[in-house]
């Protein structure tokens, strides 16, 4: 018999819609503000994955009309040099969003650098002040990946109210802020992680299952409740025996899509939404300055 497969949550298509909306919003606001919105992405070292992400972000900025003030620094750049650059960008009236591309080289303290960014220009939504605003349900800049997940659920009219949501992963980048956002949307939230006992029993209870741990194929079909919504935040590069590499998520897509009702693809799911939310954050900061 022909098994029914899950409906794809197409992050790439939704991101394109968001870009169109942002472009129109910028065109309307620019005559009043007198300049385009500005985003500064700081990259240190030459991690090829990071370089590709930064290029992707800059292309997206150009598409919607955001000016890029990105800077690329050699690996050995010191903390105090970067600190000076961030302070200057905090003062720069052309810049609405500042983002430090992670991971950073080992000698740099990412958290301490993040603390240097003016919270109102924190395009990644990761400053402690913005995380605090999220916890208190106050307006503010939201972490891009979790905000992208919520926007995707909203677009496909997936109501989370009263649903059992399980987030696998507790990072400050995704797991914790996403759990808070789901809670704010009236879901009942469980956070599972590497120390959780009997992960399959926990995940099988989920109406909405989010995988955000960075382990390829961790979530298999027998861990998923039939008819669940499965959101795959993982982006892992795996190489086959022939030496060819491809991107996969934390979910074993082929088996899980036969069980779930909705599923995000990798690539083309949450990753595309992360960039769209980064631009949305930048435009939001821009609109706050009027």
Question: Is 237 part of any known ligand binding site?
Answer: no
Q: How far apart are the first and last CA of the chain?
A: 59
Can you say how many angstroms the Cα of residue 41 is from the centroid of all Cα atoms in its chain? 15
Q: Is 101 a catalytic residue?
A: yes
Q: Which of 86, 92, 63, 64 is nearest to 73 (CA)?
A: 86
Q: Residues 10, 96, 122, 124: which is the catalytic one?
A: 124
Question: Is 18 part of any known ligand binding site?
Answer: no
Question: Is 171 part of any known ligand binding site?
Answer: yes
Q: Is 57 a catalytic residue?
A: yes
Question: Is 34 part of any known ligand binding site?
Answer: no
**72-81 long-range Cβ contacts below 8 angstroms, 24+ apart:** 72/43, 72/44, 73/42, 73/43, 73/44, 73/45, 74/44, 74/45, 75/44, 75/45, 75/46, 75/105, 76/105, 77/44, 77/108, 79/107, 79/108, 79/109, 79/112, 79/113
Q: Residues 101, 116, 257, 280: which is the catalytic one?
A: 101
Assess contact for 270 and 152: CB atoms under 8 A.
yes
Backbone dihedral region of 287: left (phi > 0), alpha (psi from -120 to 50 degrees) or beta? alpha
Active site residues: 57, 101, 124
Annotated binding site: 169-171, 235
Annotated binding site for NADP(+): 169-171, 235
């Amino acid at each position: 018999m022909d098994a029914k497969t899950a409906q794809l949550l197409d992050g790439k298509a939704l991101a394109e819609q968001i870009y169109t909306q942002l472009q129109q919003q910028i065109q309307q606001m620019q005559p009043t503000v007198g300049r385009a919105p500005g985003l500064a992405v700081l990259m240190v070292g030459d991690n090829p994955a990071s370089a590709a992400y930064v290029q992707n972000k800059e292309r997206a900025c150009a598409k919607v009309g955001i000016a890029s003030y990105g800077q690329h620094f050699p690996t050995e750049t010191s903390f105090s040099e970067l600190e000076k650059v961030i302070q200057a960008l905090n003062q720069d009236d052309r810049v609405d969003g500042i983002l430090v591309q992670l991971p950073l080289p080992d000698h740099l303290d990412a958290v301490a650098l993040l603390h240097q960014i003016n919270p109102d220009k924190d395009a990644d939504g990761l400053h402690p002040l913005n995380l605090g605003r999220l916890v208190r349900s106050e307006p503010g800049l939201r972490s891009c990946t979790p905000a992208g997940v919520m926007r995707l659920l909203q677009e496909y009219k997936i109501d989370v109210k009263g649903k059992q949501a399980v987030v696998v992963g507790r990072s400050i980048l995704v797991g914790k802020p996403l759990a808070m956002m789901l809670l704010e949307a009236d879901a009942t939230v469980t956070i599972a992680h590497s120390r959780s006992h009997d992960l399959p029993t926990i995940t099988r209870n989920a109406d909405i299952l989010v995988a955000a741990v960075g382990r390829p194929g961790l979530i298999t079909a027998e861990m998923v409740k039939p008819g669940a919504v499965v959101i795959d935040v993982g982006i892992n590069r795996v190489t086959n025996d022939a030496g060819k590499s491809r991107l996969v998520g934390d979910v074993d897509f082929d088996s899980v899509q036969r069980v779930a009702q909705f599923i995000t693809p990798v690539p083309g799911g949450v990753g595309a939404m992360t960039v769209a939310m980064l631009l949305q954050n930048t435009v939001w900061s821009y609109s706050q300055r009027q």
